[in-house]
Structures are given as C-alpha cells and as structure tokens.
Amino acid sequence: MVSDIKSTAHAVDASAVMGLLPARPRLLALGEPTHGEGTLLDLRNELFRQLVEQEGYRTIAIESDCMMGLVVDDHVTSGTGDLDEVMERGFSHRWFNGSAGNRDLVRWMRAYNDGRPAAERLRFAGFDGPLEMTAAASPRQALTALHGYLSASVDAGLLPCTAETLDRLLGADDRWTDPAAMMDPAQSVGRSAEAGELRLLADDLVALLDAQTPHLITATSRDDWDRARLYGRTATGLLRYHFWMADTSPSRWTWLASLRAQMMAGNLLAAAERGPVLVHSHNGHLQRAKSTMRMGGLQLEWWGAGALVSAHLGEGYAFLATALGTIPHQGVDAPPPDTVEGLLYALPEERFVVDARRLVAALGDAQPTSRESPFYGYSPLDPAHVAGTDGIVFVKDVRQS
C-alpha cells in the first residue's frame, strides 16, 4: 500500500497543487491542523509566492479579524504604518501577531507591491469576524464606519439615523465585550431594546449601501465601496451574534458557531470577487464536511465556512488539508501506522502533497483508524474527511520555531 500511496506524492509547489484540480479555483484553501507553527507558515508563504508568480494570485486571506486585517492591507498596498505597528494592530489571536511567519509574509507583500500599479498589487484580508473565544467585539467600529461612509456621499435625508443616535444606542463598549456574557446569557446586551433598534438601523444602512451602489462606486471608488460592504457585513453579523449570545435555549452554541462560519464565508466570497485567493486557516473551518464539537455536554453540529463557500462556488473552491507526523515540542510523537498520518509518515519525503482521490483508491477497503492527540491544540485528520478534500499536504516533522 505504501508504494501505491508514494506514486501519488509530489513536492508541495504551485504546479503540483494546480495539477490536482480541474481548473484554477477562485478560493484555494490550505488548512492547518494546529496554529502557530512556523514550519506550516513558511510552507504557506512559499506556496503563496509561487501562486503569485506563476498563477496570477493576488490575495491571501487568513483566519484573523477582518477589521484588523484592514491595517495590514493598507500597509502592504500603500505602506501605511511601520511593520511593528502593523503586526501589533493588524492581527487577532495571540499566535498571529507574534508570528515570524506572518511578519515575513507582510514584509514580502509590501516589498512586492512597492512601485507596482494598483491593479497588480497584492492584497491581504482577515476573514474571521471580530470574535474571540471569550468575547465578541462591540459593533461600534463597523457600524460607525459604515454610517460615516454613507453620510459623506449620499443625501442626508436618506440616512435612517444620525451618528449621535448610533452613539447613544451603542453606549459603553465594555457592555458588549464583557467576557461573562460568553457563558452567562443574562450578562449579554444582545437582546436589549437598544440592541434591537441597532439591528434595524444596521439593516437599513446596508440596504442604503446596496441601493446607492452605482453612485457610490463613482463618487468614491470600488475599493472604498468594497470596504463599506465589509463594514456592513461585520456590523450586522456582530449584532446577530450578540443577539444569540443572550439566548438561553439549547440552540445557543450552535447558533454562535454557525454565525461565525457565516461571517467567515461572507468575507471569503467577497475576497474572491477580486480574483483568485489563497485562504489559510484551521482545517476545521475549511472542510466540506459538517463541523462537530462537544460543548457543555451538548454535541454541536454546524456547516463551517468551507462547506458554505463550497456550496456557493462548486469547483471554484478547492481544499487542501494539512496533516502532520510529529510535533515533538508539543508531545506529539510518530503516528500509529494504521492512521492516515501513519501511512503518510512511512514515506521518505519530509513534505509532499497527495491527490486525495488517488489516496482513497490506494486505501481500497482498508479503513484507517482515527489518531488520538495528546496535545489539545492539534487536531488529527479525520479519515472520514479524506474523500472530501482535493489533496492532503503532509509535513513529516514540525520543529519548534
């Protein structure tokens, strides 16, 4: 069986990846089974460089706050801010802004763009919502930015409210970001009278943005209009998320997981409108299969961002899952030989990509077992999900950065 699998393995490069696919996808998703490992970020960076230089890719989207990502995009496209400031303010989640791999990516993108016309510049996008495990952001930034954009370009009489009304209804931001609300719905302001009014106003502001599209693109620019659409998606998404944070039914956690996935998917589909995008995120967010998780004794199921985007784009979405052999510094030793990782670990190469369909054919009736992880931050590949990928990138040993 190992020899059959070996025949499907190729070096991880743009030409090998494209050879797995029927056509160049609008969204090429590269998953990872754990966050913060420099080996995986270096692999991502090299693949993105090749996709830019050989396949015409111009955007990379990563699992980071979509609003904070605007800081990075401004820097790589126009040089706004210095690199230290951008790394501090442009990434969410603790493993992103301190990452040497992400720093190298931003530095390379800025150097590539220097002196190039706007149409040829690389773009950066965060595609996660402004959400953390312990809290959700206030909708203030997105909502007021959307209102500001519209108030500068459309008749004031069309606006559903004033900036002062928004400020009054929003109140103090710490009401929205209280971490106690994640576990205690009673601490959430998401179903207050003010939040309900804000949801209606946000909906009207997005409707006005859509209705004025021809005028706004001419009066401002398509980039500015695209950014305003991001504000609208984020404001309405956050208000909906806060509404369900205040819910007390057994469906609460499923709703929250689903809403995060919907915000991710909306941002990815918007990024794809500009041209082909390399997406980098956890395998679990990008898979086509339904996502599952146990939370407080409940078994949650929801469709993740990859499943949603795949349903919209069909062959325009491609997903490469990454699987690992060892992570010695996290206590992850060589995989058992009867797991997918164990079968791939038996090959001599350090890193390679295999065609998932040919791998399934090589396995035949053999049913690999699921690998168990001693490290909570690493998610082994689910054997049942192999057939739902377009390829598997395998890294034999992940060394500490």
Per-residue pLDDT reduced to its tens digit, 192-233: 999 999 999 999 999 999 999 999 999 999 999 999 999 999
Element (H, E) at 102: helix 100-113
Number of folded domains in the chain? 1
* Mean pLDDT on 19-24: 94
Residue 147 lies in a domain: yes
Residue 255 lies in a domain: yes
* Model pLDDT for residues 237-269, shown as the tens digit of each residue: 999 999 999 999 999 999 999 999 999 999 999
Residue 177 lies in a domain: yes
Specify whether the CB–CB gap between 283 and 250 falls below 8 A. Answer: no
Residue 200 CA from chain centroid, whole number:
27
d(Cα 118, Cα 107) in Å, to the nearest integer? 18
Specify whether the CB–CB gap between 332 and 399 falls below 8 A. Answer: no
Residue 380 lies in a domain: no
d(Cα 307, Cα 290) in Å, to the nearest integer? 7
Cα 286–288–291 angle (5° rounding)?
75
Residue 94 lies in a domain: no
- Residue 365's pLDDT band, with cuts at 50, 70 and 90, is confident
* Mean pLDDT on 117-146: 95
Q: Tell me the whole-structure pTM to 2 decimals.
A: 0.96
User: What pLDDT score was predicted for residue 5?
Assistant: 78
Specify whether the CB–CB gap between 304 and 285 falls below 8 A. Answer: yes
User: What pLDDT score was predicted for residue 262?
Assistant: 98
Neighbouring CB atoms inside 10 A of 393's CB total 25
Residue 214 lies in a domain: yes
* Model pLDDT for residues 65-110, shown as the tens digit of each residue: 999 999 999 999 999 999 999 999 999 977 666 789 999 999 999 9
Q: Domain of 235?
A: 137-275
- Residue 296's pLDDT band, with cuts at 50, 70 and 90, is confident
User: What pLDDT score was predicted for residue 363?
Assistant: 85
Residue 204 lies in a domain: yes
Residue 111 CA from chain centroid, whole number:
24
* Mean pLDDT on 379-388: 95
Residue 201 identity: L
Residue 226 lies in a domain: yes
User: What pLDDT score was predicted for residue 133?
Assistant: 72
In this structure, what DSSP letter does residue 251 have? T
